[in-house]
Structure 1
Amino acid sequence: MRLLLALLSLTLADVAAERRSVPTYTIDLDLPPEERFKVLVRPGTGLNATVWKFWTKYFVGDPLLKDALFALVAARGHEAPELQAEISGMAAASGLPPAFVQGIQMLYEVQTLMVPIVNFSQPRLSSDGIGWEGANRTFHEPLPKKWEGLGRFPRAPFCTGIIATNQADGSVYHARNLDFFFTELMAELVYTGVFTRGGKELYRAQMIAGRA
C-alpha cells in the first residue's frame, strides 16, 4: 500500500509539473468592437500563430470542409452588428479569411454536428386502461448534399459535467470539460479573458482565441 501511495504521489507530481498555466488577457469593452481582441495577436502571445495552424491543418488542405464552412457562413449572413464588428476586427488583425473567423464562432455546433433526427411519439392507452404508453420512432436523415463537407470535421466524445452544492453556504459549483478533438492545438488557444468597462472588471471567462 505504501508503495502504491508513493507511486501515485510521484505520478501526480509529474502531472502538476507538466500543467501549462493559462495566460490572462484584458478585453476592454470600452474600445470599439473592432479593437477589443487585438491584444490577442500582439507579438509574443503565440495565439495568432496557433489559430493559423488550426486553419492550415484542418481547412486549407480540405477544400470540401472549407467550402462547406464558407457556404454555411454565407447562408447565415452577418451576425449581430457588435459581434460582426468583433469578427471583422479579428480577421483584419490576424490576416485570416473573414469567413473562417465567422465560421469558427460556430465551432462547437459544427464539431458536434449530427444529422437531423426527428422523433415521433405515439402515445396510446396502456393495456390496464389507467395509463399511457408510447411508441417512439426515430428517423435519421442524411445531411443535405450542400453541407456534406461539414461531416468531415473530426468528432470528439461527449463532454462531462459535474454540478454540486456546497452545504456550508449553499453555493453551487458547475464544472464541465471541453472535449474538442484538437487537443494539441486547444491547449495553446485557451486563455482567461478579463472583460472590463470603465476600468472595472465586469466578469472573467475561459476563452478560446479566435472566438468572440
Structure 2
Amino acid sequence: MKLVCTCIGCAIEASCPYSAPRFYLGEGQAWARHFTEDLTRENIVKGLKETNYGRCVYKSDNNVVDHQVVNMEFTGGATATFSMCGFTRHQERRIQIMGTKGEIRGEEGKIKVMDFVTHENTEIQIPEQTSGHGGGDSGIVRSFLKEVCGYNGSEGLTSASASVRSHLMAFAAEQSRLNNGQSIELDDFYKKLLVQV
C-alpha cells in the first residue's frame, strides 16, 4: 500500500503557501471540478483526501516542470520564446508578436495591434471566455466540427499534423531540459523518435 501525504490534517497546512484546501475551498473553487462535480465543502474535502489534488507538494513524486524558458529558432530565421511559471497568483496567458512594421499583443482579454508605419493603435476586446484554456478548447472543437461538416482539403487548426508538430516541440524542449539545455534540431529529434517506434 502506498502512503499518500495530503494537506488534510497536515500540521502546517494553515501556513503553507501551497495549501490545497485554502485554494480549492476559496478563490480556486471552480478548479475543484477536476475532481468533483458537486462543489460543496464536504465533496471538495473528500476529493482532496482521495485524489492527487490534495497531495503535499513537498512529499510528492510529481516531477513536472514548474517554470521554464524555451528559445526556438525557425527555418526562415524567425525566433520565439516561450516562458512559463507556475508560481503566479493568477493564471494568465500573454502573447507578443513583433514584426518589422508592427506588433501584436494579446493579454487581459484584449488584443492590441500597433502599426509602426502609421502609428495607429487598434484594440480588440475579446469576449469573456468560459471554457478551458481561455476559450481555446471550444475554438478547437468548433474548427474540428467545421472540417467534419464541410472539409475543403485545407489543413485546419486541429489537424493531426499540426498537433504532432506542436507536441514534438514540447517533447524536444523537455529533452533539452534533461540534457542541460542542449540545443535540439527538431528534424533530427523526429527521426530518432521514428527509429525508436
Whether these two folds match at TM > 0.5 is: no
Q: Which has the higher strand share?
A: 1
TM-score bracket for this pair, using the shorter chain length: under 0.3
Which protein has greater RCO, CA pairs closer than 8 Å, 6+ apart? Answer: 1
Normalised to the residue count of structure 2, the TM-score between the two structures is: 0.25
